[in-house]
Amino acid sequence: MSGLVSFIRKYPDEAACIKALADLKWPNGFVCQKCNHNKAHHLKGRPRIFECSSCGFQNSVTAGTVFHKTRTDLSKWFLAAYLIASDKRGISALQISRELSIRYDTAWLMCHKLRAALFERDGFKLEDYVEVDEGHYGGYREKGRTGRSHGPKKALMALAVEKKFVPGKGRDWVAGAARIRVIEHADKETLTKFIKDSVKPGATILTDGWRSYAGLTQAGYKHHAMAGSGAAAGVNLPFVHLIFSNLKAWLNGTFHGVSKKHLHRYLREWNYRFNRRHGDVATFVLNRMANQPGITYQALTA
């Protein structure tokens, strides 16, 4: 609670949030979007606008951010970002609606705009030992489908998680960073691309014996295929199976299930928070909000 109280005191109203957003948007001082001039007049009647003192162009502090053209108070946006970032169980749009006293559809849009911006940058890839596996979520398996196949409403996910050796940490091996993605097929091409996008060349990839992982050595990795399934797979690939279990419990517990259509954004939220679980996640999220354009309602509902 002390963290929440401190956050509210830091960003108590629209003015404080505008100042914080301006500092994040222009960390070295104001720069006009049109002429690059570094002096501006802050309009009192339109507090989100900074008018360039050279060319007169009106620069919105929310332009190019997740908050672009929003009519909702920025203090409520900031608090929503804090709530999403700070609770490892996550928070639903219904809870946001109740906590911030806003309409449910507004809360739903806010949550999805925030999630859409929480992606992992391409330059930061997993390394050393990495467990990789696939898992299903939601829907039902159609009659006659076997193996890694899945029905039209059942989503297929690929997950990679670092396995770090840290002496003195109980069992010594701990989970590091992770990458997760919704995939359409568990074929060789799809899984190899996921691994190439997620893991540095030269890393040791640990998988089960699924044939689609064949060829990772030729792709520049050291590959160890573990035998066994069911309980044996959980022993051989402990972190990836534990994370899949926790992830599904999170989706079903906090949100009471999510649709295949929007699953990838929930996975972004989970992945972003998981990889920054030892730091100040709220600060990471606010920085991302200020430097990432928001997804539109039309794109969300397409």
* pLDDT for the residue 1: 46
Dist CA 164 CA 4 (whole Å): 32
Q: Tokens 């890393």 map to which residue? A: 203
In 10 A of CB 35, how many CB atoms? Answer: 12
Q: Are 289 and 66 in contact (CB under 8 A)?
A: yes
How long, in residues, is the chain? 302
* pLDDT for the residue 295: 83
* pLDDT for the residue 281: 83
Q: What is the pTM of this model?
A: 0.84
Q: Are 192 and 216 in contact (CB under 8 A)?
A: yes
Q: Could you report the per-residue pLDDT of 6-38, keeping only the tens digit for each?
A: 999 999 999 999 999 999 999 999 999 999 999
Dist CA 65 CA 263 (whole Å): 23
The domains found in the chain, sorted by start residue, are 2-116+287-301 (no CATH), 130-260 (3.30.420)
Q: Could you report the per-residue pLDDT of 159-186, keeping only the tens digit for each?
A: 999 999 888 766 688 999 999 999 999 9
Q: Could you report the per-residue pLDDT of 88-138, keeping only the tens digit for each?
A: 788 999 999 999 999 999 999 999 999 988 888 877 899 999 999 999 998
Q: Could you report the per-residue pLDDT of 189-243, keeping only the tens digit for each?
A: 999 999 999 999 999 999 998 999 998 999 999 999 986 555 556 678 999 999 9
* pLDDT for the residue 231: 53
Q: What stretch of H or E contains 205?
A: strand 204-207
Dist CA 21 CA 288 (whole Å): 11
In 10 A of CB 186, how many CB atoms? Answer: 22
Going by C-alpha positions, the residue among 41, 62, 27, 34 that lies closest to residue 289 is 62
Q: Could you report the per-residue pLDDT of 277-298, keeping only the tens digit for each?
A: 888 888 888 888 888 888 888 8
User: Span 255-277, mean pLDDT?
Assistant: 91
Q: Could you report the per-residue pLDDT of 31-55, keeping only the tens digit for each?
A: 999 999 999 999 999 999 999 999 9
